[in-house]
Structure 1
Amino acid sequence: MRRSIRRIGSPGNTAIAAVTMFALCSGIWLLRDGAAPHAPPQPSAAQAARSGQGDDHGGGRSSAPAMAPSAPDRIRIPAIEVDAPLMGLGLTASGSLDVPPAERPDLAGWYEEGTTPGETGTAIVAGHVDNADGPAVFYSLGALRKGSTIEVDRRDGTVAVFTVDAVEVYQAENFPDRKVYGAADRPELRVITCGGGYSRTTGYRGNVVVFAHLTGSR
């Protein structure tokens, strides 16, 4: 099941807005096997941005200098055992963000018309939480904790190292477009998958979003 992404004029990612659902986020395998034992983890309130922090998810941590633009090839999140290749994602004819092929649950994607991970701005990585056969690449994203490391291998041979500032979950109808996709004056990363609880009639209710910023490179 695909639900479209509304279009807005956010600086930095002008063509996209709220990722309400990705293809095959209907949880077909949960329907088959029963949702309760298999539902993916969701972030706790403790992993959200601190009260009074506003849109600054940096938590006071300094940012590393921005890197030159370079397409990413791989994302690693050791804390949840993610080590996945990245493909470029564009927009569909209807203006929604395209998704990796359903038959490749190990594959994630990045919005290649926007910021590359490591350069100044907000880079977007997205992937499935599951497919018809079971868990996919970002099944455990909701279990990620503040301070965890995300590494992105780039085509120029460098590695962009990000630190997680917050992990939040939003219902589809309340997805904060500009908070997630808006322009940033430092290198930031968003990693997004389906979440927000599960309904046997409508599938996943929203999205899990990881907020991170660049803290190193090599």
Structure 2
Amino acid sequence: MTTPTAEGRPPSSRQGGRPRHIRRCRPTRQGRVFAAAAAAAGIVLAAVGTSALVAAPHRTPARADIGSLPLPQGAADQGARTARAAPPVRIRIAGIGLDRPLTRLRIQEDGRLGAPENPSQVGWWSEGPRPGDPGAAIIVGHVDSATGPAAFYSLSSLRPGDAITVDRGDRSSVTFTVRALRQYEKDAFPDDQVYAAAGPPALRLITCGGTYDNEQGGYSDNVVLYATLAAPGTPKPSTPPSHTHHRSRN
């Protein structure tokens, strides 16, 4: 994600500012040491995440290219909503057994979006659109750590039609339907497409992907899940669906 920003503190979303890319998508020093040990043992690293994780024997990672991207639409009807949605406090994805509180993330001085401090946490871009408001709300999570799977480890197993529910601070909730998953090289990240500040309510879940570069200490790509507001009357699943998906090793 390489959207240029002005020198100094980047503008807030109200001023048109967007993150350049996710901050700290590289392993910590502990993760780098762990990665080196794994490489010495002939074991490759999982391709998605922020820290090193011992994975299966080496093979070329399959790129995430699933489902159809939502078609661009005009601005949402502002007359239908006069009050801003309450901030999100929790994300629930029954299909992968995820139920986590949300922490606030902000754009840092270098123009990058902060990441959760703990691999088990999930965060939302608090300066961007809120879930249920016009535009795309951004939620970020780690996939692995030096000790094992993290919050978004199973994200790539989701498929179009799966439900994502976000609980908000006023005890309301909003449900989104998965439409697509895409994997992008970081130097070719489609900022305008992902960070949509206007249009119908949408949701983007973002993590790292691609191959792990031990010399550079980071991952080559980003994985983005696209979701749109569920149709009125869509039931909110309380238990995981009967079908299971196999996570691609990205």
Q: TM-score, normalised on structure 2?
A: 0.69
1:96 aligns with 2:105: no
Relative to structure 1, the CA distance from residue 121 to residue 140 in structure 2 (aligned partners, 3 Å threshold; closer, same or farther) is same
Match of 1:119 among 127, 133, 136: 133
What is the CA distance between 1:13 and its match in structure 2? 8.1
Structural mapping, 1:44-123, within 5 Å: 44-45=64-65, 47-49=66-68, 56=71, 68-101=84-117, 104-123=118-137
Question: Is residue 214 of structure 2 the alignment partner of residue 205 of structure 1?
Answer: no
1:25 counterpart residue number: 26
Deviations 1:152-190 (A, max 9, x none): 010010111000110111011111110101234211000
**Shift in CA distance, 68/132, structure 1 to aligned 2, threshold 3 Å:** same
Q: How many residues align?
A: 200
Q: TM-score, normalising length from structure 1?
A: 0.78
Letter in 1 for 2:24: A
1:168 to 158, 161, 182: 182
d(CA) in 2 for partners of 1:13 and 1:129?
A: 31
| Structure of greater Rg | 2
- The Cα shift of 1:35 comes to 2.1
SS in 1 for 2:131: coil
Identify if the C-alpha distance between structure 1 residues 119 and 84 changes in structure 2 by more than 3 Å, giving closer, same or farther: same
CA displacement at 1:200 relative to structure 2 = 2.9
CA RMSD in angstroms comes to 3.0
Instruction: Give the direction of change, closer, same or farther, for the CA distance of 1:112–1:80 in structure 2 (3 Å limit).
Output: same
- Higher strand share goes to which structure? 1
Structure 2: segments with no counterpart, 5+ residues: 6-10, 46-53, 74-79, 237-250
**Structure 1 residue runs without a partner (length 5+):** 59-64
